[in-house]
Amino acid sequence: MEPHSHRFAHTNRPGFWLGFIDFFTAGLFFLFYMPLGGLQAELEEVLGHKLMPYGKAYLLGIPTLFIYPLIWMARIAEELKGVAEGLGIPGPHTSWRHMFGWNTLGLLLFGPAVATKRFFDTLNKVERRLNELQEGSIPG
């Protein structure tokens, strides 16, 4: 098999199922998935700056009834929306409002999965576009 030449290899993450699993593990799933699945590094590359490690945000969530990691993720969602718009990717995009709203006001079991689905839909589109730009396959 030929080595993968794309900068971003994970451009089809199933956001709904990742969010669904994370909900049922009370956030523990992303404690492992963020660093081991490469998501933390990919987000830092896409956004162009270092992020607080999810593990630290998770720990800060314990005394805040997990409001802190939700706000942390909502901020990242808003930044990701800006990157998507800057690349000319049509919406709908993730956003602060979408992430926070679905996680707090959404249906108990499915709200977090809906928020995570939109987040990963946006991230997948951004990473695919960045791969295309790297290859020079987007017409100017």
- Give domain status of residue 4, yes or no: no
Q: What is the mean pLDDT of residues 84-93?
A: 96
- Give domain status of residue 90, yes or no: yes
* Whole-number Å distance between alpha carbons of 113 and 126: 20
Q: Per-residue confidence at 6, pLDDT binned at 50, 70, 90? A: low
The total number of structural domains in the chain stands at 1
Domain containing 92: what range?
A: 38-133
User: Quick one: which of 26, 96, 93 has its CA closest to 61?
Assistant: 26
- Give domain status of residue 32, yes or no: no
Residue 2 in this model has a pLDDT that exceeds 60: no
- Give domain status of residue 51, yes or no: yes
- Give domain status of residue 138, yes or no: no
pTM for the structure as a whole: 0.88
- Give domain status of residue 104, yes or no: yes
* Whole-number Å distance between alpha carbons of 126 and 86: 10
- Give domain status of residue 71, yes or no: yes
* Whole-number Å distance between alpha carbons of 74 and 77: 5
Structure tokens at 65: 């009834």
* Whole-number Å distance between alpha carbons of 74 and 55: 16
Neighbours of 140 (CB within 10 A): 3
* Whole-number Å distance between alpha carbons of 126 and 87: 8
Which pLDDT value is given to residue 62?
94
Which pLDDT value is given to residue 138?
54
CA 94 to chain centre: 9
Return the amino acid letter for 79: E
